[in-house]
Structure 1
């Protein structure tokens, strides 16, 4: 019996079920009436019973007839629903069969194209038609593997049909798809498939970095790739992508990409060295050569490393071709020092050495006779203890002479004549009691804005001139020592005479209720230490700009016989117009000197920025040059050159990491400038702040 017959029987049973009880009841009533009638015993009561039963039967039949249309409607609805379900099932079976046929046809066509290694637009047309039909039939693109998807994507009008699939793919999967799609000459679609995850996963795919570079280059979007996706790559990815760029002779883009790594690992230095040579950055290359030769040696043990020999030899030839003879000679010398015979290294080295000697002889003949100038004797070696002690003693005597001269200046200073013409310095005379909560009757303290070693800094308001000022309340230790207090006040009055656009000026020195207050210019901006903390590293051009202002200020102060002695980024403020100004000129150290004499301490200053002679209680103008050198290093790298417990010994040994090894794209002369500024012997440093700046500005 088929399904249709079963449903008909079921419907008949459903319609007959309500009538069966009524029929049975009617039959029973009939038997009773017939029995009673036959006996002639039908009376009025029995007739009533009969009529009631008969009435109930009629009502039951009428009720059944009234519900019959509803039963029929339900039956017809159920039958229609059954028909639709049956039709859907049949259609689904047909669609599934059609999808399977289309999947098989698509896969077969793709295999044929792969075997023929052709993927012309005309060949991909049938694939696209079948795939679109497959999707219309409810097909899932995920039934196709990664080898088949590129052909499907290439045949599609756009990637909208693959959006759902792409969102579920891993970065490596997207890269493989884009790589194969690029091989099918679809660079536009390939580049749209790539995303940040795919670019970061390039190392996990064979030929991944090269494929990414080729795709973006073919699409004309290489600069977008470097600027948008290369700021937060895994560390190893930078060198991989740079190597891929170099294979396409995109050396400038490769160096630009490596700069985004901020602090490249040592393993990337040979690659950066090669880029500098090929781009003509020979000063940077020279600064890196020694470290690169350690990382990538010409030989290991007694065995030559042919790959490394080829590396150095080819770069030496490039140097010769571009006129960098000295760098080429140094590279060839790596072979000569190890006794390695490689191609024409010996011949080339000898030729370059001969040319260099001839040039030196010619230069000596043409050079004018040097003017005899007194040359300061270099500092004796640390190993020569007696000579070193004598040298330190001589420095100490010189410092004492300068200190005596400074003391005489302070004693001769007429405090009453130390007013600045503009905006005007008020000498340190006792002030009357506070008028309405104001210092000296006109300076109102608004609120604390900072604190440091010298004291607490408040924002203030000058009611006499209607402007903001910064008011610094000095440390209370001075209160108990009148002699040291008077010395500090005289020193502050002398510093107040410094009138320079790049020095934060002192407007007034006020004594109030036994406390000392200094009133300064109020500068809207950030300290250089805050700028470094925010940016991490500053570009060389920004360092030049900031240090230009600082060096002008320091040079002016030195001409006025004032040494800062605590120069550091926290004492340099960069205003909203990007001008830099120096704060606390001489004051922090003078206060420190006073406290040193009170507490019997021997060292004043911030240890990280202190020059070696400061540890011995000696300061001179070159002491500020040393601090400027450390500031320059910190601005470039984001770190100070010396750290740890024994910084004094490290400074004496100049034991720090060269900037060129941290930022190998900077000019190689940066190391020379910093090295000269950080000489342990102050007489070997730059003579003044402007010479230091000229060296920086020439980079």
Structure 2
């Protein structure tokens, strides 16, 4: 499909699209909103609703020459369209562009920035993030995010809503709750992820690293100048130096629980019951099973 198609507007100087989805509903601008481990996110426009959305694009040739893996990734992203939770960014459309060799998916765009630090409502924000993760882990089948980090947690400051995004590379696993393949952001990746044999507990580790970054305003392992050095520390169980900067013992203990060995890490249900969240008014009665155990091993 050729670029330079302008969305329906009476303004002759309207910004042109550089790409349009197969349905003709969504148009992508050239403006880059961000990039993750294997994808880029562009500003886009929903011509039916008249709102801005996010256009996520994965260059498949950068992932693997394994056609089976690519097809599985495509199938997993399609399944994510069925997810409905107020703490998860909605996925609207998914398709594969054979000509460009890309996998594309349209998601809602949260109007505010990602969280950068804990503030007065910090516990509520951290709890809302955890509830979104709980929804994924208790989904049937279980969904492992695999690339949870602060750049994937969005806060709409206008209404105080927290949403987890960047679900395009999540893993859909069966009853065994076991997944394979290495994907993620090195500073936030659990050690077992590198071994390519893991469960949803890798998300708990990444969640702990997110809390650490919000507390210290420092990306974990920022003292390392290469991925190799990060891997060496993570695989050896060496904690990031930023953890030493956490003065609040309760917060530090909460983070340490998340960074424990896989079998010792608490599930999302157990973390939601943690004393760290005592005193928070839980007005989310619609999350019926938010404290049910997800059955992690």
Work out whether the TM-score is over 0.5.
yes
CA distance in 2, matches of 1:623, 1:558: 11
1:448 matched residue in structure 2: 31
CA distance in 1, matches of 2:257, 2:131: 19
Mapping of 1:40-79 within 5 angstroms? none
From the superposition, tell whether residues 693 and 648 of structure 1 become closer, same or farther in structure 2 (CA, over 3 Å).
Answer: farther
Residues 73 and 169, structure 2, Cα contact 8 Å, conserved in 1 = no
CA distance in 2, matches of 1:654, 1:513: 43
Give how far 1:635 is off.
1.0
**2:166 aligned to 557, 577, 584, which one?**
584
Structure 1-normalised TM-score? 0.32
From the superposition, tell whether residues 510 and 646 of structure 1 become closer, same or farther in structure 2 (CA, over 3 Å).
Answer: closer
**1:698 aligned to 274, 278, 281, which one?**
278
**1:461 aligned to 19, 37, 45, which one?**
45
CA distance in 1, matches of 2:182, 2:96: 28
Give how far 1:513 is off.
4.9
**1:474 aligned to 58, 62, 65, which one?**
58
Give how far 1:611 is off.
1.0
**2:148 aligned to 530, 553, 567, which one?**
567
SS in 2 for 1:465: coil
**1:399-430 deviations in Å (ceiling 9; x for gaps):** xxxxxxxxxxxxxxxxxxxxxxxxxxxxxxxx
| Paired residues, number | 243
Q: Which runs of 5+ in 2 are unaligned?
A: 6-19, 172-180, 280-297
Structure whose residues are more often helix by fraction: 1
**1:609 aligned to 188, 193, 213, which one?**
188
CA distance in 2, matches of 1:575, 1:663: 26
SS in 1 for 2:166: coil
1:618 matched residue in structure 2: 197
Is the counterpart of residue 685 in structure 1 residue 265 in structure 2?
A: yes
Structure whose residues are more often strand by fraction: 2
Give how far 1:476 is off.
4.1
Residues 543 and 636, structure 1, Cα contact 8 Å, conserved in 2 = no
CA distance in 2, matches of 1:603, 1:575: 31
- C-alpha RMSD over aligned residues: 2.9
From the superposition, tell whether residues 465 and 611 of structure 1 become closer, same or farther in structure 2 (CA, over 3 Å).
Answer: same
CA distance in 1, matches of 2:103, 2:65: 12
1:523 matched residue in structure 2: 110
CA distance in 2, matches of 1:436, 1:675: 51
From the superposition, tell whether residues 559 and 474 of structure 1 become closer, same or farther in structure 2 (CA, over 3 Å).
Answer: same
CA distance in 2, matches of 1:605, 1:574: 21
From the superposition, tell whether residues 443 and 545 of structure 1 become closer, same or farther in structure 2 (CA, over 3 Å).
Answer: same
**1:128-147 deviations in Å (ceiling 9; x for gaps):** xxxxxxxxxxxxxxxxxxxx
SS in 2 for 1:511: strand
Q: Which runs of 5+ in 1 are unaligned?
A: 1-432, 591-601
Is the counterpart of residue 674 in structure 1 residue 255 in structure 2?
A: yes
1:507 matched residue in structure 2: 92
From the superposition, tell whether residues 462 and 603 of structure 1 become closer, same or farther in structure 2 (CA, over 3 Å).
Answer: closer
Q: Relative contact order: is structure 1 or structure 2 higher (C-alpha 8 Å, sep ≥ 6)?
A: 2
From the superposition, tell whether residues 461 and 495 of structure 1 become closer, same or farther in structure 2 (CA, over 3 Å).
Answer: same
CA distance in 1, matches of 2:39, 2:154: 18
Residues 435 and 441, structure 1, Cα contact 8 Å, conserved in 2 = no
Structure 2-normalised TM-score? 0.71
**1:621-656 deviations in Å (ceiling 9; x for gaps):** 211111111111111112245443644454444545
Mapping of 1:271-670 within 5 angstroms? 437=5, 438-439=20-21, 440-452=23-35, 453-477=37-61, 482-514=67-99, 515-528=102-115, 532=116, 537-539=117-119, 541-560=120-139, 561-577=142-158, 578-585=160-167, 587-588=168-169, 603-642=182-221, 643-644=223-224, 646-648=229-231, 650-651=233-234, 652-656=236-240, 662-664=245-247, 666=248, 668-670=249-251
From the superposition, tell whether residues 553 and 436 of structure 1 become closer, same or farther in structure 2 (CA, over 3 Å).
Answer: same
Residues 76 and 170, structure 2, Cα contact 8 Å, conserved in 1 = no
